[in-house]
Amino acid sequence: MKYRLIKFLQAVFPFVTVIVLWRLSLAFWNPAGILAIIPIFYCSFVRPVPWFAPFAALFCFLIDYRFDTLVYWTVMYCIFYAVNGFQTVFDLSKADKNALYVFMVFFGVSTLGLLLVGFNISNLMRGAWLFAWVSTLYIPITALIKRVCNDR
């Protein structure tokens, strides 16, 4: 019984992490729950979790709802999901640092797209801060998921 409970908690941890990070939304540190994009990316592309893709798309939509960006993050996630599905060159599960650099490309391109829509110095500084902050927190959050889920 104890073993089954532990396996269940390990299986639901990525889902719970997304929910918690989305709910802990703060204007400066986690605007619109954007930190939830870290486990969404990690559990969709680097360490694929069964049935996570529909859940991730739903939470990308919820991030859009809070960001007031219509379906921007959802579309970016779906585009990257499609590109990742068609490519056979890179194996993200074997990438260094839990595929940090690939995540930085995904998040950087997405953030740059938002910056170009309403470009001004304030948005540029906010975008740079958001990119640096989310990229910095990628390693500890993915390490926690990896450790709790007993992965490699």
Neighbours of 33 (CB within 10 A): 22
Q: Measured between alpha carbons, how far is 119 from 113 in angstroms, rounded to an integer?
A: 10
Sign of CA dihedral 83, 21, 100, 111: positive
The closest of 12, 19, 66, 39 to 134, measured between CA atoms, is 39
- Candidate from 17-21, 88-92, 109-113, 145-149 with smallest mean pLDDT: 88-92
Could you give the 3-state DSSP secondary structure of residue 148? helix
User: CA-CA distance, 134 to 36, in Å (whole number)?
Assistant: 10
The Cα 25–Cα 122 span in angstroms is 20
- Paired residues of 30 in beta bridges: 26
Question: What's the burial of 83, exposed, middle or buried (CB within 10 Å: 0-12/13-18/19+)?
Answer: exposed
Could you tell me the pTM of the whole model?
Answer: 0.93
User: Residue 94 has what pLDDT?
Assistant: 82
| Per-residue pLDDT tens digits for 70-112 | 899 999 999 999 988 887 777 787 888 899 999 999 999 999 9
Q: Percent of the chain, pLDDT > 70?
A: 99
